[in-house]
Amino acid sequence: MPSHDHPISIPVDGGTIAGTLVTPTTRLPGVLFVHGWGGSQQQYLARARKIARLGCVCMTLDLRGHAGTSPQQETVSREDNLRDVLAAYDELVSHEQVDPTSIALVGSSYGGYLATILTALRPAKWLALRAPALYMDRDWDKPKRQLHKGQDLHAYRQRILPADDNRALRACAAFEGDILLVESEHDQVIPHPVIVSYREAAKQARSLTYRMLEEADHGLTDDASQRAYTSLLVDWMQEMVISAVSDMPSKREQDKTRKKAREGEREQPEGEG
């Protein structure tokens, strides 16, 4: 592992002696967790702490319209929440310990949908999706709550969609990293065709790991399902982190990617998919 020398002065008996602090130049993978509609960062904090023990810098967030900003839920749009995720990503990547070439996005339901779209706007190496949602591209700037009234999402999600039919699927089709795709056996919100649409779109992925959570519903309302998902996510992230450490880029490559990510902050997300 490469290292960096830091000349230091060590105070002793009213004077100083010279020393050198040798530290690894390798930075740590960053992991951004995006909760689903109606959820909050509390749902991911325990998992974030477990993954942090693997040697990652983890970040959770409360999307606008949730937790402390719940009064905004009637007016917040997908555009607003995508900007939330973009801002959180940029904050994570700016952390001095984070390797910008090793970013994981973890999202559930609506959060998985947003995380997938984020991969088209910012670099990511890993994408973990649990029951990712799909919405029609139209009405992008309308309040998210209105989509369930103005779009026949039940019928839309019953079809296996081609990648070019949906903004999230187009992003998934272009993603070249590793993907974890998790389905709940008894999901009443995200039907099986949605999962198939994501699987079929992920043609360019470096790897695709698909898992079914047996007996689980959409919200993982029983403790066994929660534990099963946590174990699955942590094990997959451990495998990814071990792989990343063995193929860690040089500090020059990390700084180059960091500069590219900062330049990306000036880009505006698309208004329409």
Q: What is the mean pLDDT of residues 204-214?
A: 98
Token output for 221: 């309302």
Most confident of 169-173, 241-245, 256-260: 169-173
The verdict on domain 28-247 having CATH code 3.40.50.1820 is yes
Does the pLDDT of residue 120 top 50, yes or no? yes
- Closest residue by Cα to residue 119 from 129, 108, 127, 111: 127
Instruction: Say what the pTM is.
Output: 0.84
Token output for 98: 């984070």
53 φ, ψ to 5°?
-70, -15
Does the pLDDT of residue 268 top 80, yes or no? no
Q: What is the mean pLDDT of residues 54-71?
A: 93
**Res 266: pLDDT:** 40
Q: What is the mean pLDDT of residues 259-267?
A: 48
- Structural element, H or E, at residue 222: none
Q: Per-residue confidence at 265, pLDDT binned at 50, 70, 90? A: very low
Please name every residue paired with 31 in a beta bridge, in sequence order, or none if there are none.
58, 104
Identify the DSSP state of 271: S
Per-residue pLDDT reduced to its tens digit, 133-150: 999 999 999 999 999 888
Q: Per-residue confidence at 271, pLDDT binned at 50, 70, 90? A: very low
Q: Pairing relation of β-strands 98-108 and 28-34?
A: parallel
